[in-house]
Chains A and B, each alone.
Chain A
């Protein structure tokens, strides 16, 4: 079973990713168990999928998190795809889902997820990371904690350093 990096360590990943919506004319065939579907599938079958309770949604980097604004309380998991690790749109998507829309379920980074970007992802609200399979998952914890502090506010530290410096 593939593994996933979470806040409390490396775990077996129980979720299956449906990488594409069915082609036109084909019917949706969901695998057994928890599944992450493309946002288009979610939007087409929202009521049915919602009733299942074990369906998450994934967004491509150009897709708008606004599309899920009404679903944040029902969805157990949202994944954001990084098609290339240099595509930084996912960081904004993460922050918006957490800070603007109040999503509190699992926020998962998928796709071209590498070690050196993990801490940025975490600061933008991700709490699960599907590290690219050729990367050494044992180094994740080290890379998630390169920095012990930061200048800006983020999803976890809502008060920027300039306000905390002042307080001391």
Chain B
């Protein structure tokens, strides 16, 4: 993964010193609450329902063992001993003290971590596929481009006070999209043109929140070296013309819609023409110097399906289930990609203790070249596990709570912290997730249902990505009471689509039963090969609606 040089270290140290200065002035009242607000947000610090919340950046999801141990220490020393992985590959602490935050940031900076631009109206952490660099279905490793974008977007002098937050995601897989790029402010799909030249298909104006939209393509092919100047042109057009009069209409998607994608693209092209040949244009050398940090580790020459693995899978059904569900094919023979699920029933999705963080550090050193990835589905990934060590790994993680074999099933729920923690939430989300997990506790049944994405958000801000869940649940407030609205048919993949609302909302205690009825309709209606989403697209909303809202006689 990327390693800092003297420049990166210097810039980050100066950032920590700057925030220490700002925090001190905020504590004496020299900076008003309003003046301090964007400064602390751009250093990851929210003030939440119970206490401040610090969102620590994990650039495009990559972490090493040293960083995990430091996170564990910070979690233990400055918080209550657990952290929460978010839906944008970041990690949050829920109870730090405001005055401690400069010290926390200093400790993180020692291991090349920070909380830069994890909040506020600026360019946020660039995210990508958690299987980047190791999945066979990938044109090229997207992480060097993410790092290039990270550097370009860090303390960009022109774009620190945009109309609203701004999120960029990059995908390089041809047939899947684990980065949900079409629901980002900018989505970059790495492609080759007819001549074999590398570049990007550029989507702009996607996003969730109050007005969910799938981002239209504004440029079919952008040559690789033009990446940063083109991004600069997009963000400049947005900075100048995005709405600032209403925060709910301030995201770039509203501007793209108002100008039409074609009209928006024209403005971007006009701006880009002025700057495309400036020194900010990337060079092959600049990309190469980042790529050296993402070369392959020292893989052994191995064969797929070693005898020990085959034997263990046939002897132990639980192990076999786990291999089938929680591991993915690796581009190298003899290796698998392993997901450590943070979705054990009874534990809020994405939550992890300080001790567990250290255990993951040990595991990644023992099994996966000392690195781990955070996923937008709130799990962790060991990307390079030898197949002949899978059984040992599985035995090691079972008692630690990372082996719940439910990856991509109905109970692998994406869920925001919700009303238990978040000041913005209208409703709790964690208890709903847990109740659904309890209802669907039969693994064989879950496997039979196949891949289903169930996403829960506690409010319109949609941190739980409910719009793009195959089944989406949104917490709403009705006269002070919490209700839940269900949508069906969403997808964050290449076929991205915003889910459609099923009908009137439900009380919290009804939710497991509602989900069960929806699942039953699927099971009755599906053909042999159909996933939940396939069936929904074929039969439409009505059968689901009729079942869920049928009155009992």
Q: Give per-residue flags for A62-87: 1 if the beta carbon is below 8 A from chain B beta carbons, else 0.
A: 00000000000000000000000111
**Within 8 Å CB of A123, what residues of B?**
157
- A13 in the interface (beta carbon within 8 A): no
**Within 8 Å CB of B490, what residues of A?**
none
Residue total for B at the interface (Cβ-Cβ under 8 A): 43
Q: How far is the CA of A89 from the CA of B236 in the complex (A)?
A: 9
Find out whether the CB atom of A160 lies under 8 angstroms from the CB atom of B7: no
Find out whether the CB atom of B158 lies under 8 angstroms from the CB atom of A158: no
Find out whether the CB atom of B14 lies under 8 angstroms from the CB atom of A124: no
Q: How far is the CA of A146 from the CA of B274 in the complex (A)?
A: 30
Contacts A85-B161, A100-B274 given: A146-B280 contact, CB under 8 Å? no
Q: How far is the CA of A91 from the CA of B162 in the complex (A)?
A: 10
Of A1-9, A16-24, A103-111, A148-156, the one contacting chain B is A148-156
**Within 8 Å CB of A114, what residues of B?**
35
Query: Nearest A residue to B162 by beta-carbon distance?
Result: A88
Q: How far is the CA of A89 from the CA of B242 in the complex (A)?
A: 10
Find out whether the CB atom of A92 lies under 8 angstroms from the CB atom of B236: yes
Considering the complex, which residues of chain A in the window 21-39 have a beta carbon less than 8 Å from any beta carbon of chain B? none
Tell me the smallest distance from the CB of B456 to a CB of chain A, in Å: 32
- Interface size class on chain A is 20 to 34
Find out whether the CB atom of A147 lies under 8 angstroms from the CB atom of B286: no
Query: Nearest B residue to A166 by beta-carbon distance?
Result: B285
**Within 8 Å CB of A86, what residues of B?**
38, 121, 161
Contacts A86-B161, A92-B236, A162-B148 given: A151-B11 contact, CB under 8 Å? yes
**Within 8 Å CB of A116, what residues of B?**
22, 31, 35, 39
Find out whether the CB atom of B155 lies under 8 angstroms from the CB atom of A150: yes
Partner of B157, one of A149, A152, A160, A162: A152
Q: Give per-residue flags for B87-122: 1 if the beta carbon is below 8 A from chain A beta carbons, else 0.
A: 000000000000000000000000000000000010
Find out whether the CB atom of B121 lies under 8 angstroms from the CB atom of A147: no
Q: How far is the CA of A120 from the CA of B283 in the complex (A)?
A: 26
Q: Give per-residue flags for B263-276: 1 if the beta carbon is below 8 A from chain A beta carbons, else 0.
A: 00000000000100
- B152 in the interface (beta carbon within 8 A): yes
Q: Give per-residue flags for A157-168: 1 if the beta carbon is below 8 A from chain B beta carbons, else 0.
A: 011111101100
- B160 in the interface (beta carbon within 8 A): yes
Tell me the smallest distance from the CB of B242 to a CB of chain A, in Å: 9
Tell me the smallest distance from the CB of B36 to a CB of chain A, in Å: 9
Partner of B240, one of A92, A124, A146: A92
Considering the complex, which residues of chain B in the window 148-167 have a beta carbon less than 8 Å from any beta carbon of chain A? 148, 151-152, 154-163
Partner of A151, one of B21, B31, B154, B160: B154
- Chain A: interface secondary structure? loop
**Within 8 Å CB of A149, what residues of B?**
7, 10-11
Q: How far is the CA of A123 from the CA of B39 in the complex (A)?
A: 18
Find out whether the CB atom of A88 lies under 8 angstroms from the CB atom of B154: no
Considering the complex, which residues of chain A in the window 46-64 have a beta carbon less than 8 Å from any beta carbon of chain B? none
Contacts A114-B35, A116-B22, A152-B280 given: A165-B157 contact, CB under 8 Å? no
Tell me the smallest distance from the CB of A101 to a CB of chain B, in Å: 11
Partner of A166, one of B151, B152, B283: B283
Tell me the smallest distance from the CB of A21 to a CB of chain B, in Å: 22
Find out whether the CB atom of B286 lies under 8 angstroms from the CB atom of A88: no
Find out whether the CB atom of A87 lies under 8 angstroms from the CB atom of B161: yes
Q: How far is the CA of A123 from the CA of B30 in the complex (A)?
A: 25
Tell me the smallest distance from the CB of A138 to a CB of chain B, in Å: 12
Q: How far is the CA of A95 from the CA of B31 in the complex (A)?
A: 27
- B438 in the interface (beta carbon within 8 A): no
- B399 in the interface (beta carbon within 8 A): no
- B278 in the interface (beta carbon within 8 A): yes
Q: Which 5 pairs show the lowest CB-CB distances between chains A and B?
A: A88-B161, A123-B157, A162-B286, A120-B157, A91-B158
